Amino acid sequence: MSDAADDAIAGGDQRRGSLTLTIRDVARLAGVSIGTASKALNANGRLSAETRGRVLRVASEIGYRPNDLAQSLHRARSMTVGILSNDSFGRFAFPIVEALERRLSDHGIAVFMCNATDDPVRERRHIEQLLGKRVDGLVVTARRADKREPIEPVARGLPVVYVYSRVESPDALCLLPDDKGGAALAVTHLAALGRKRIAHITGPERFEAVRLREEGYRDALARAGLVAEAEECLAGDWSEAWGREATRRLFKRRRPPDALFCGNDQIARGAIDALRDLGRSVPAEVAVVGFDNWEVMAKGARPPLTSVDMNLDALGRAAGECLLDMMSGRAVAGVRRLPCSLVVRASCGAHARSSAAGELNA
């Protein structure tokens, strides 16, 4: 290999003050050839630990750093990944992205994040910009897990992972929380605490997560030998106001519930407020469980709220693992639903603990 080629692979020229540092300087000071220095700096080839360590030590001492662009051209990879989201508040996307970034950074891969805010034109522009940067893969996430259209790079063969986002394509990989299992976990827990009349206050029925959580709620009731009447499952908005209104409706009935399973933590906070206004003690008279484990909501409730955690961190790590597999050439596809867990706080009347999906079925 020529000296020029080695310079390109290991990093090219780099200025330090008025000096220009090159791989030749590293090789000369370490007492090795340019080819050996290149192998040490790029972590490839067969070198002794002592030689590799000496080269890296010299590079660190003189402040030499390989040129990422030159290295990526040599590898035919940019060592970057694009993240496309429409979660402008970051409530769901940020925990996923943080875990994903930690996993990819172990392999020296950086991320570019773009927010499309549900604007198809803006999303298309972001995709083109990310493709222009020659990213090695794409991750698509959202603020809700409902179905969406696939993005075009799937057809171009670029690795794409949909996480907390879903498309109808047999070739796509979609990673989602197990909404049905999470709901069943909450209701099973309430039934195990001796609650007999467990009502469900949830969000708009047009969302798949709402329908899945209701299925989990009804399945868990049936397994516990309990039955929910039609008026004990109320669908409305994702808001504290709806939580208050629905709770007031439920407690106008002759036999009001002794437990509430709420479709998200905002609804649960509103329900707890309404119960306080009605003079009902939580959890002595009425146990309350939410969904999402949004800590600012759950820990700020009075009493602190037991809630289903979708384990967004685990979703992000799984997305990173799958993307690395796809970037290495492995075919990965299908819809995978990862288990939720239950974070137990004072609102349900049990001692605080965190439970995985299988633990409460023992």
My answer on whether 136 and 279 are in the same domain is: no
Question: 352 and 284: one domain?
Answer: yes
φ, ψ (nearest 5 deg) of residue 140: -115, 125
Q: Which domain holds residue 134?
A: 77-177+312-339
In angstroms, the CA 256 to CA 251 distance is 5
Distance CA 326, CA 322 (A): 6
12 neighbors 22 (Cβ within 8 angstroms) = yes
75: left (phi over 0), alpha (psi -120 to 50) or beta: alpha
Task: Specify the 3-state DSSP secondary structure of 142.
Answer: coil
Q: 3-class SS at 290? A: strand
Q: Rounded distance, CA 29 to CA 42, Å?
A: 18
Q: Examine the domain organization and report whether 128 and 152 are in the same domain.
A: yes
pLDDT of residue 6: 44
Q: Does one domain contain both 157 and 227?
A: no
CATH code at position 45: 1.10.260.40
Same domain flag for 264 and 277: yes
Q: Say if residue 355 is in the same domain as residue 218.
A: yes
Q: What is the pLDDT of residue 65?
A: 67
Contact between 196 and 226 under an 8 Å Cβ cutoff? The reply is: yes
Query: What is d(CA 353, CA 340) in angstroms, rounded to the nearest whole number?
Result: 14
Enumerate residues 6+ apart whose C-beta is below 8 A from 247.
201, 260, 270, 271, 274, 275, 278
Give me the residues paired with residue 115 across strands: 85
**What's the number of domains the chain is made of?**
3
Angle between helices 34-41 and 23-30 (to 10 degrees): 100
Residues 230 and 267 in one domain: yes
| Nearest residue to 79 via CA among 327, 304, 258 | 327
Distance CA 325, CA 160 (A): 11
pLDDT reported for residue 174: 96
Residues with pLDDT less than 50, the chain = 1-18, 68-70, 72-75, 353-354, 356-362
Statement to judge: residues 258 and 289 lie in one domain: yes
Q: Is residue 59 a contact partner of residue 23, using CB atoms and an 8 Å limit?
A: no
pLDDT per residue as tens digits for the range 122-151: 888 888 888 888 899 999 998 887 788 888
pLDDT at position 194 is 96
Torsion, Cα 208 224 238 296, to 10 degrees, reads -120
Question: What's the pLDDT at 197?
Answer: 96
pLDDT at 76: 55
DSSP state of 23: H
Return the pLDDT at 20. 65
Query: CA dihedral in degrees (313, 319, 320, 321; nearest 10)?
Result: 110
What six digits make up the tokens of 187?
A: 């209701």
Q: Are residues 323 and 347 in the same domain?
A: no
Q: Are residues 83 and 226 in the same domain?
A: no
The per-residue pLDDT for range 335-345, each reduced to its tens digit, is 999 999 999 99
Are 40 and 153 contained in the same domain? no
Q: Tell me how many helices (H) and strands (E) the chain has.
A: 14, 17
* pTM score: 0.76
| Whole-number pLDDT of residue 154 | 61
**Residue 220's CATH number:** 3.40.50.2300
